[in-house]
Amino acid sequence: MSGSAKDLAETLKNLEQKRKNREIDAKEFYVSLLNLLQGLIDTLNDETISEASIRKQIPLLLTFLKAQIKNLGERNS
């Protein structure tokens, strides 16, 4: 599910609306968000991104990854 920023934003908006309307449960929402993240990854892999932009994004990604890995470990303990 790669695409333009507009496509990805629209997908996110639709997911949020479905969750708000209780059309999807928390797990389906979570998995859908991860799939959206994969689409974003696919799109960004094909882009030319400046070194400065990359450096700004690394702390956010590190925080996200550390939290997800920690949570995974806690669930599997």
17-71 tens-digit pLDDT: 999 999 999 999 999 999 999 999 999 998 999 999 999 999 999 999 999 999 9
Position 8 scores a pLDDT of 95
Is the same domain home to 5 and 33? yes
Structural domains in the chain (count): 2
Task: Name the residue among 75, 62, 43 with its Cα closest to residue 30.
Answer: 75
- Determine the number of helices (DSSP H) and then strands (DSSP E) in the chain: 3, 0
Report which DSSP code applies to 23: S
**pLDDT at position 24:** 98
Residue 11: give the domain boundaries: 1-46
pLDDT of residue 2: 58
More confident residue, 72 or 3: 72
Query: Both 28 and 53 in a single domain?
Result: no
60 and 39 in a common domain: no
What is the reported pTM? 0.82
Query: Does residue 41 share a domain with residue 7?
Result: yes
Residues 36 and 20 in one domain: yes
